[in-house]
Structure 1
Amino acid sequence: MRRRILHVAVVAVSVALVLFGIPLGVAARATILSEERGELERTALLASRQVGPDFLAGDPVELPRVEGDKQVAVYDASLTHRSPVTGGPPAADSVTRAAARGVESDGVVGAQLVVAVPVTVAEKVIAVVRVAAPTNQTWTATLLAWAALVLSAGLALVVAVLVARRQARFISTPLEALAVSAERVAAGDLQTRAQPAGTPELVRLAQSQNEMLDRLCDLIARERQLTAEVSHQLRTPVTGLALGLQNALSHEGGGATADPHAALVDALGQVRDLERTIDNVIQLARPEAGVMRGGPVRSVGDFCAEVERRWRGTLSEAGRPLVVTAQTDLALCLPQFVVTEVLKILMDNATRHGAGRVTVVFRDLGSFVAIDVTDEGSVQAHREELFRRGQSGSDGLGIGLALGRSIAEAYGGRLALTLEQPTRFTLMVPLPSTPSEPDPTLSSDSPQRPVPAADNREPERKR
């Protein structure tokens, strides 16, 4: 990269120097010749002033003194030499003969640059003044000018090389860094970020690459989060479904009178519940997901019966009682997904990590319904750490509570730890703004327990 930039810069500067240098050299030569002719012409005009009317009578001419190797000579109308022999050739040359016709002339004769000026009296040429100088003087001046041009071109080329090297480094260094960053990303290091540097275009390129990696990391994180959330939400229902089917098969094989139709209906309901769970978790994990509205609803009475049906047996096996109380209208409808999934998380958390009696209370708060899940255990961790995704430990710090809060907030609700000992989590769910139809997938043949009557008493708390 650097060699190519340097090569292009050197070639461009060299071509520019040649294109401009040759015309400048020719112009310098022409300028030097013009200045020399002008100097000889001024000397000839000065000498012509010394030639007067008495020149025809044979009076001698006093020529002015000249500098250097210049020669001054005077010829009469017949082109006879009338000045000292050292001042010019005895015989008139072509330039002198041309001036004798009344026209100032100049040219190169041999190794001399000659300028001849006619002297006229009454419009008649009476003499010709010839001034000459060696051409080697003009060539010396020309060569000096050309040498100056070559030195200037060399200096310009050196400066161009230095500037090109600096610019090549300025351009190639960020590109090399971007290449190294891209190689690290290709090797699997998605945390590598390029340092924006160089020209504005290179800075924008580095920023675009960093933004692309940020979006890629976000997509991967969301995919991992979605996998973990789906796995977390499906683990318990799939286990329950498998156990239910195994029990149905064992009853059938043992000749018991258990109704296989009820077991199949219950299994079908659980499968549909799993489908809804997967769809809603995927929708919740999408980047554009905002506050979710609508969807199937269920009554408070159905939720109470569902909690009784799903968790009483499990808690009874552990010797722990379950109390479900509704302090609101049993016919009041709530969003099915948020209540079902968050209750599933809270009840699983209470079963695995809680102690003693588990109490579930539905409370009416006007436009919201609060659902309290209380057990007789305690929580030692900080309230916010409970809902931090990715935590794990003996206190039940895991993905479940973080997912539950996400689901609640996605539906405009809130999930919080409202009491540390005994442990109480409260889910606040907004009532649907418009009446919704109950979930049509709920079968009336699904086995459910009787809904407990509303109880206005506060659940017992351990102090």
Structure 2
Amino acid sequence: MRRRLIQSTLAVVLVVIAVFGVSLVLVETRTITESARERVESEAVRLASIVDSRLLVEEKVTAEVLRGQVTEDRYVVVRLPGRAPIEIGDKPEGDVISASAPGEEGETVTVQEPRSSVTREVGRTLLIIGLVALLAVIAAVLLAVRQANRLASPLTDLAETAERLGSGDPRPRHRRYGVPELDRVADVLDSSAERIGRMLTAERRLAADASHQLRTPLTALSMRLEEITLTDDPETVKEEATIALAQVERLTDVVQRLLTNSRDPQTGSAVTFDLDEVIQQQLAEWRPAYRSAGRAIVTSGKRHLRAVGTPGAVAQVLAALIENSLMHGGGTVALRTRVTGNQVVIEVTDEGPGVPTDLGARIFERAISGHNSTGIGLAVARDLAEADGGRLEMLQAKPAVFGLFLSRTPPQKSRDDNRQTVR
């Protein structure tokens, strides 16, 4: 591309120089020739007037008298009536420029100038024009090289950016080049890089969240299936199968919730539900794991509370808190319910050492963990809570107390929509 730009620019400059240079040479040659002819004619008229003035006062006209009046390199012939011609200077050979002027006393003055003087002047003019053309060509080449680098380097850089995007490196480069069209391409590539980066981040986040959120339900489901394989009692098999089916439904809800949350974290399907039902379901699901660890999980507080949210999402948040207490806490885990203002609060606490001081408020950040775990459980739980219009907070560090805040009344928009539906 650089070579093409340089060649095209140089070709344009050469064409312009050829067109205007030839025209300028023709015009200058004609101008110099006409100027030389005018000078010779003026010289002839001037010498004729000098001869007239001397003849009028009856002074002698000789070559010695007129030699001082003749310009160097010119040949002059003065023809007087009844006298021999008077010659001044050397007669030029070859082509000459000649002019004659008659006098009032009957004399004729002829002035000749060799055309070689015109040729020398034309040659000097051509040399000057050639030097100017050469300088113009050099300037054009330098300008073409500069413009070629200015255009080709950004294009090479943009090609490298596109190649980086194709190789899986979505970092935007934020480089601009001062050319509107190229800057527009750079804007589009940077925007594409940011979108690709967000998509890759969302995919990695979905994979991490899925592996974390599905691990516990699958473990609980496998425990139920093991119970079925180890018993011959039909009633026990039926009971365990019923619980396993319920866990499969919750597992399906977890998957659906993860997919929905990955597309739009703010998308929620909040409804008014019975909070006791979700808490009892979590207690039944986690009691086997706590019994295996020699610990207990209990519930207390106000009963028959109703909250606004997605039951599946609330169950996942509570599951994350209960699992966090099982892995990092100690003693009995308690789920307490209370009411504060227009909100229902579910507190999950245990008797363990609490949250380390160095973690503090960072406990909800991804990849933050104090015991070599994945560090995404609480982050996912907070995202799920916020998607339903609630919030998850750490109320106390030692011992650890986490609070899930849910609204007791539907949002105003939902009630207005319900009114319009009834109408």
TM-score of the pair, normalised by structure 2:
0.82
Kindly indicate whether the alpha-carbon contact (under 8 Å) linking 1:181 and 1:194 is maintained by their aligned counterparts in 2.
no
How far off its partner does 1:260 sit?
A: 5.3
1:215 aligned to which of 195, 204, 211: 195
User: What's the C-alpha RMSD, in Å, of the aligned pairs?
Assistant: 3.5
2:275 corresponding residue in structure 1: 300
Cα deviation, 1:130-167, whole Å, max 9, x if unaligned, reads 33211000000000110111112122222333333334
2:340 to 365, 371, 395: 365
Q: 1:386 to 1:53 in 2, by over 3 A?
A: closer
2:133 aligns to what? 153
SS of aligned partner of 2:259: helix
* CA distance, structure 2, for counterparts of residue 258 and residue 84 of structure 1: 154
For residues 81 and 320 of structure 1, the distance between their equivalents in structure 2, rounded to whole angstroms, comes to 152
Matches within 5 A, 1:80-229: 83-86=85-88, 111-117=95-101, 128-191=108-171, 193=173, 195-197=175-177, 199-229=179-209
1:315 to 290, 293, 300: 290
| Contact 1:363/1:371, CA 8 A, preserved across alignment | yes
Query: Cα deviation per residue 1:185-233 (whole Å; 9 max; x = unaligned)?
Result: 5555445837444645444544543333232222111100011112211
Aligned partner letter, 1:279: Q
Letter in 1 for 2:277: D
Cα deviation digits, residues 255-310 of structure 1 (max 9, x gap): x1326555554444333322322222222222x543x4444442122123212221
Q: CA deviation at 1:427?
A: 1.1
CA deviations on 1:161-193 (whole Å, 9 max, x unpaired) are 333333434444444444445555555544583
Judge conservation of contact 1:300–1:330 (CA < 8 Å) in 2. yes
Q: Which moved more, 1:329-338 or 1:276-285?
A: 329-338
Q: Which runs of 5+ in 1 are unaligned?
A: 90-108, 437-463
Residues 350, 155 of structure 1: alpha-carbon distance in 2 compared, 3 angstrom cutoff = same
Question: Is the CA contact (8 Å cut-off) linking 1:379 and 1:395 kept in structure 2?
Answer: no
Mapped partners of 1:183, 1:293: distance in 2? 39
Partner of 2:262: 285
Distance 1:353 1:304 in 2: 21
More helix by share: 2
Q: For the residues of structure 2 that align with 1:19 and 1:289, how far apart are their CA atoms?
A: 69
State the secondary structure of the residue aligned to 1:360.
strand
For residues 401-450 of structure 1, what are the alpha-carbon distances to aligned partners after superposition, in whole Å with 9 as ceiling and x for unaligned? 111112222223221211122211111122322479xxxxxxxxxxxxxx
1:70 aligned onto 2:45: no
Return the alpha-carbon distance in structure 2 between the equivalents of residues 320 and 53 of structure 1.
Answer: 144
The question of whether the paired residues in 2 share the 8 Å contact of 1:174 and 1:198 is answered with no
Aligned residue type for 2:208: A
TM-score (norm 1): 0.76
Superimposed CA distance per residue, residues 106-143 of structure 1 (whole angstroms, 9 cap, x where no aligned partner): xxx9511123345679xxxx665433211000000000
Are 1:394 and 2:371 counterparts? yes
> Counterparts of 1:60 and 1:422 in 2: how far apart (Å)?
140
CA deviation vs aligned residue, 1:355-414 (integer Å, no higher than 9, x gap):
111110121123221110001112214222311112344175611011111222222322
Structure 2: runs of 5+ lacking an equivalent: 417-423
Answer yes or no: is the 8 Å Cα contact 1:113–1:132 preserved in 2.
yes
The reply to whether residue 32 of structure 1 matches residue 9 of structure 2 is no
SS in 1 for 2:235: coil
Query: How many angstroms apart in 2 are the aligned matches of 1:316 and 1:337?
Result: 24
Distance 2:71 2:54 in 1: 27
Displacement of 1:46 after TM fit? Answer: 1.9
Change beyond 3 A, Cα 1:397–1:240: closer
Q: Which residue in the other structure is 2:320 paired with? A: 345
